Amino acid sequence: MKAIIPVAGFGTRLRPHTHTQPKALMHVAGKPILAHIIDELAAVGIDEVVLVVGYLGEKIEAFAREHYKRMKLSFVVQEEPLGNGHAVYVAREHLDGSPVVLVFGDTIIKGDLAGLVRRRESLAGVKEVDDPRRLGVVELDANGYIVRFVEKPEHPPTNLALIGVYHIHNSGVLADALDRLVREKRQARGEFWLADGLQLMVDAGEKMRTFPMEHWYDCGTAESLLTANHDLLDLSTPDRTKTHDTTIVIPPSFVSPTAEIHGSVVGPHVSIAEGASVVNSVIRDSIVNANAEVADALLEHSIVGERAIVKGRPARVNVGDSSAIELT
């Protein structure tokens, strides 16, 4: 079985970080978003991944080739950002009739993914949410089959939110539906939506059920990225409080073996990436990206970008890559 992961978006809601870093490579709970996704897929036996790239796609390709050398990797370019349905459409040569898993590149899932891929039918991952208006939702018939997909409804007919993971048993049917979607220019708000393609697939006779996912994290904004970091660290293996030289690390936290930390208190719910430096600081509920520097600061609920420098006093910051901020 193969997986298709669209990772071509600009990630505008995560700026300033995504000016220089693709959203899928943003660090969360010890590794990039994309690594969380591929590791979950690999754990259930998926060994072929198709990545639909666009903005900063060369960085995504370099990361995947470096870290997943044993996996069969393919890269398809989405030349224009015309929506998540169009992203899967440009990879339609890989929709050859065999089963395929689709996972959005800003969605981290934790749950019975093995159960999803074992099923011999098409499935849409869902979770009940209080307010699904910024998501897609599904309506079901009396037998539990999906009869309607609704993308970002103003008045949601149900609270069964689509979470961006699908198992398509007959991928050829989806390829035909997406071809029709684009050929007939069925756009909404200037984009081709995967939900509309799935609707055409269901209308053509493909049966599709829902599949509940226990844990799901949309990492599209700074707030949701920090929430994902917090919750994923909670799900990690419990550990005692650690002491690094003159630093105390309070779990659940992640500190890269290559990070340098001195005279500081780190945690709980802190993720510090490779090559970062933390000196004489207190950091809680935050993400410090690769090769960043934090000194003489108290940070909470913050994101520090790659190679950024933060020095000074207590604050909450969202500092992009290669920035420098001195809090005086």
**DSSP H or E stretch at residue 20:** none
151, pLDDT greater than 60: yes
**Mean pLDDT across 131-158:** 81
- Name the E strands within 250-290: 254-255, 260-262, 265-266, 270-272, 277-279, 282-284, 286-288
**Mean pLDDT across 244-273:** 90
CA distance 266 to 272: 9
CA distance 238 to 233: 9
- State how beta strands 286-288 and 270-272 pair: parallel
81 falls in which pLDDT band (50, 70, 90)?
Answer: confident
Complete domains list, the chain, with CATH: 2-229 (3.90.550.10), 238-316 (2.160.10.10)
240, pLDDT greater than 70: no
**pLDDT, tens digit, 9 for 90 and up, residues 60-74:** 999 999 999 999 999
Q: What are residue 303's DSSP bridge partners?
A: 287, 318
**293: exposed, middle or buried (C-beta count within 10 Å: 0-12, 13-18, 19+)?**
buried
What's the pLDDT at 87? 93
pTM across the whole model: 0.88
DSSP 194: H
**Mean pLDDT across 85-104:** 93
CA distance 327 to 312: 4
Share of the chain above pLDDT 70, in %: 91
